[in-house]
Structure 1
Amino acid sequence: MEIHLLNSSHDRKAFDCGNDEMNAWLRQMARQQADKDLIKIYVATTADEPTKIAGYYAINTTSVLTEGMGGQKLPSNVPAVLLARLAVDASYKGQGLGGCLLMNALELAAETAELVGIRCIVVDAIDDNAAQFYQHYGFEPLTTDPYRLVLHLHTVRTLLQ
């Protein structure tokens, strides 16, 4: 698998992860938001089918309310990377691609943190299965919202070593 930025050669219409909202966003909104520099979308493709999207993630920056994080005394908001979307085409599910995409996003977040202040990576899980997926990689739910999960940057660095 190769992971690179979404471009016009990628076949967004053929992507189907089984979630209509995630499919529709990729087909109808992804390029427009990327063209406005609101988000970056990374896609996984194979050498055999370089235009077929096997999976994707979308990433940008945000700030997170620290209420519900616990731990250290922090300002009321901290800078973060938002993993806005992550999806795998149904034909590639169960092959570890979701974890591969997540690790790529975490690497990108760690690289970004070398240039700008970032406290954590945040994700809004769409359901219990998604929340469990992220918790498997060390994300912790906020006490104020069990579907908003955070992974502190120091944990990211440990995961990537």
Structure 2
Amino acid sequence: MNTTIRQLETDDDRNSFDCGVESLNAWLKQMAGQNDRKRFTRTYVMVEADDPKKVIGYYSLMAISAETEGLPSKKRLPEKVSAVLLARLALDKNYTGQGLGESLLMHALYTTSQASNLIGVHCVIVDALNEDVANKFYMPYGFAPFQNEPLRLVFFLETLKDM
């Protein structure tokens, strides 16, 4: 399947998107556009080349200051570090099993890595929807749980050098 990932546009068709999780569907349909306009988040959408306005997947990023307590790091860190929150990531349920979720995740990490060349970004943090998502989707790509919050995961950007 030939897909493209790009920033959300105001005329994108978000209404037919259904990942099976109503909160993620509603956020894309009702909040993503205004959050982008207000510069709270940046939302990136995956579209098919044959239908470049129909959203089949998306992710949203936002800058945060992250407490380092509980971070699974062997290095000494300050009390807080600059981070990017992977605030949302979802794929339409009609497109699962094709590696497209992985493509969205890799694009999010690449985008964050590019930003880290311009501003200080230490890591990517995500709050996994549940243990299954944490263990089967995020952890195989190098995300690790916070010691005190097992569904809050971190990916250290320095590990991209090893990939």
| Fold shared, TM-score > 0.5 on shorter chain | yes
Aligned partner of 2:52 in structure 1 is 50
2:68 and 2:111 map into 1 onto residues whose CA distance is 23
- CA-based RMSD: 0.9
Are the counterparts in 2 of residues 42 and 57 from structure 1 also a CA contact under 8 Å?
A: yes
Runs of 4+ that moved beyond 3 A: none
1:129 and 1:27 map into 2 onto residues whose CA distance is 25
From 83, 87, 96, give the equivalent of 2:90: 87
Q: Aligned pair 1:114/2:103, yes or no?
A: no
2:141 and 2:147 map into 1 onto residues whose CA distance is 18
1:73 and 1:8 map into 2 onto residues whose CA distance is 43
1:12 Cα deviation from its structure 2 partner: 0.9
Could you tell me which amino acid in structure 1 is paired with residue 25 of structure 2?
A: N
2:70 and 2:149 map into 1 onto residues whose CA distance is 8
Are the counterparts in 2 of residues 57 and 101 from structure 1 also a CA contact under 8 Å?
A: yes
1:54 Cα deviation from its structure 2 partner: 1.1
SS of 2:51's partner is coil
From 8, 17, 20, give the equivalent of 2:19: 17
Overall identity of the aligned pairs, in %: 45
Are the counterparts in 2 of residues 110 and 157 from structure 1 also a CA contact under 8 Å?
A: no
Are the counterparts in 2 of residues 121 and 152 from structure 1 also a CA contact under 8 Å?
A: yes
SS of 1:126's partner is coil
2:39 and 2:161 map into 1 onto residues whose CA distance is 27
Using structure 1 for the length normalisation, give the TM-score. Answer: 0.96
Q: Aligned pair 1:137/2:141, yes or no?
A: yes
Q: Aligned pair 1:152/2:156, yes or no?
A: yes
SS of 2:55's partner is coil
1:158 and 1:84 map into 2 onto residues whose CA distance is 25
Using structure 2 for the length normalisation, give the TM-score. Answer: 0.95
1:129 Cα deviation from its structure 2 partner: 2.1
Could you tell me which amino acid in structure 1 is paired with residue 158 of structure 2?
A: H
1:143 and 1:45 map into 2 onto residues whose CA distance is 36
SS of 2:13's partner is coil
1:97-108 pair list within 5 angstroms:
97-108=100-111
Could you tell me which amino acid in structure 2 is paired with residue 156 of structure 1?
A: L
Could you tell me which amino acid in structure 2 is paired with residue 82 of structure 1?
A: L
1:8 Cα deviation from its structure 2 partner: 1.7
